[in-house]
Structure 1
Amino acid sequence: MKRLMITLCSMFIGLMVFAQSNDSILGKWQNPSGEGRIEIYKKGEKFYGKLYWIKDSNKKDAKNPNEALRSRNIQGLEILTNFTKSGSSYVDGQIYDPKSGKTYSCKMTLKGTDALDIRGYVGVSLLGRTETWKRIK
């Protein structure tokens, strides 16, 4: 009986660990224009995204409000920061737009397994714009 309880507890703990690490948002995504690809990953309990590929790999962060950062390459930038999971959404994060040099509040919502709605906004979510990224297989 004791052995059965230990086995059942081990299986339960293993399932809990697997369920917690199974975040569907993780992976590689492409923006609608096809100009950029973003890899979403997890650091601790937060989610982040890095622009790992862009059409023009030599493009600089020329619109950055910090003059010292304007000479860095856009490719490799962490453009999604500090998201927390809330159901099928990821909230309370920020997105950096290298085309404008602006950072917006952001929320991400999974739409099935291969689509991700990204909503960047100022102040409240009603004042924003949504685009849908597609998963790269």
Structure 2
Amino acid sequence: MKNFLAFAALIAAAPLLAAQPVEGRWLTEERDAVITIGDCGNTLCGRITKFLVTPPQGADQRDVNNRNPKLRSRKLMGMPVLTGFTEDGDEWRGEIYDPKSGKTYRSIIRRKNAATLEVKGCLGPFCQTQTWKRAR
């Protein structure tokens, strides 16, 4: 009977450990763009879908800071900045690309509440956290 109760408690607690959905439109911490997170095959990704502050080279800005010269001609608008995100407990893990620096980082995202997304970019053990708000 004890084993059954322990198993039942574990099953009941499992949904509490699941990551909350992060799909939707999110306003970056700098309030310069809207990132839309959605399904990309077997993973989630997030694409730039709106500029709130026009980039230096205009709305047609290219990925000029990319370390890969072959990718420098691609447009920022519509480009994925969050890629390969999969659920891991109460978080989502993948990679985040920073078009301002041209660098890609290991990333963890987690929904804090219905209107707030915590976005971490990590290099080794060091992480920088941003708070994104749900876009209207």
* Structure 1 residue 86: Cα displacement: 2.6
Task: Provide the secondary structure at the position in 2 that maps to 1:62.
Answer: coil
Larger Rg: 1
RCO greater where, 1 or 2, for CA within 8 Å and sep 6 or more?
Answer: 2
1:98 & 1:33 partners in 2: Cα distance?
A: 14
2:111 & 2:121 partners in 1: Cα distance?
A: 15
* Structure 1 residue 78: Cα displacement: 0.6
Aligned equivalent of 2:35: 38
Normalising by structure 1, what TM-score?
A: 0.76
Structure 1: runs of 5 or more not aligned: 1-22
Poorly superposed stretches of 4+, deviation over 6 Å: none
1:105 equivalent to 2:106? Answer yes
Q: Is the 8 A contact 1:29 1:133 kept in 2?
A: yes
Structure 2: runs of 5 or more not aligned: 1-19
**Equivalenced residues, count:** 112
Aligned equivalent of 1:70: 72
Letter in 2 for 1:67: P
Aligned equivalent of 2:120: 119
Q: Structure 1 70/25 Cα, relative in aligned 2: closer, same or farther at 3 Å?
A: same
2:88 & 2:105 partners in 1: Cα distance?
A: 19
1:43 & 1:62 partners in 2: Cα distance?
A: 25
Deviations 1:7-38, CA, capped at 9 Å, x for gaps: xxxxxxxxxxxxxxxx6311100101111110
